[in-house]
Structure 1
Amino acid sequence: MFDFLDSDWFNIGLEIVFLLLISYDIKKYKETKKKEYITNIVLTIGFAIWVLYPYYKSYFGWEESQKSELISTCVDANDTKTCKCVDEAIFKEYTYDEYKLLDKNSTEYKEFTKEAKEDCLDDSWF
């Protein structure tokens, strides 16, 4: 039901909302010089970091050599598009250390890869 929370467009939308809120408070502060707008700016930046950090932690947990190591183990050699899509889902979901410690034969991981493949093959706009 809440699959849109994992999409990149949701993250981009949140970033735009936070930038609009911050720019509005900066504009109001310049006009009125009231300190409450500075408080709003600081709180908005803090809330943005608190909300967006979990979405980006996995992106920064992988180095290029680690990504190429995972991509080279892709099983589905005939369909590289699906393979790349599943790899991107893994990069988003797990950090490198979590992925290395993960049991690849567990039902949870198999269900994750199955859902990732279904999402990759889905041609819908959402």
Structure 2
Amino acid sequence: MFDFLDSDWFNITLEVIFIILISYDIKKYIETKKREYIVNIVLTLVFAVWTLYPYYNSYVGWDEKQKAEMISTCTKKEVSLEHQKENNETLCKCVDEAIFKEYTYDEYKAVDKNGTDFKEFIKETKEECADDSWF
């Protein structure tokens, strides 16, 4: 439903907004020396870290080699029809991106792939990836 939340542009826009808010508070603090602006700066920084951590987790937690290794294992599954093969590759990319954003490489290696939590995550991710509608 909220696919734009996973887009890079949404995250970049959030970063710009946080920078504007912090710079405004710094400017106001320098002008007035009121403590409330320091509180605003700290709260904005904490909220920015809390909001943007999943975005950076997907980029920091995986090396390109590790991503390529995982993606290649997903697309190796051969399907006889071209249409199904294309859908399988699209589904694989979507599931891989969800895994990159949810887990770091070490967490992914340590997680029990046969555990109910991971199977539930994969099932929900596949449903979200297969659903093209907004609602």
TM beyond 0.5:
yes
Overall identity of the aligned pairs, in % = 63
Which residue number corresponds to residue 8 of structure 1? 6
Which amino acid counterpart does residue 89 of structure 1 have in structure 2? A
Which residue number corresponds to residue 89 of structure 1? 98
CA distance in 2, matches of 1:36, 1:22: 14
Pairs aligned (count): 123
Which residue number corresponds to residue 61 of structure 2? 61
Change in CA separation of 1:96 and 1:106 when aligned onto 2, cut-off 3 Å: same
Which amino acid counterpart does residue 72 of structure 1 have in structure 2? S
TM-score w.r.t. structure 1 length?
0.72
CA distance in 2, matches of 1:18, 1:68: 33
Which residue number corresponds to residue 45 of structure 1? 45
TM-score w.r.t. structure 2 length?
0.69
CA distance in 1, matches of 2:58, 2:15: 17
Deviation at 1:33, TM superposition (A): 4.2
What whole-Å deviation, never above 9, does each CA across 1:79-101 have from its counterpart, x for those lacking one?
21111000000111111111112
Structure with higher RCO (Cα < 8 A, 6+ apart): 2
What whole-Å deviation, never above 9, does each CA across 1:65-122 have from its counterpart, x for those lacking one?
1001100110655121111000000111111111112221222211111111111111
Change in CA separation of 1:23 and 1:125 when aligned onto 2, cut-off 3 Å: farther
Helix, strand or coil for the counterpart of 1:119? Answer: helix
Contact 2:62/2:105, CA 8 A, preserved across alignment? yes
1:109 partnered with 2:118: yes
CA distance in 1, matches of 2:123, 2:47: 34
Contact 1:26/1:41, CA 8 A, preserved across alignment? yes
CA distance in 1, matches of 2:52, 2:128: 22
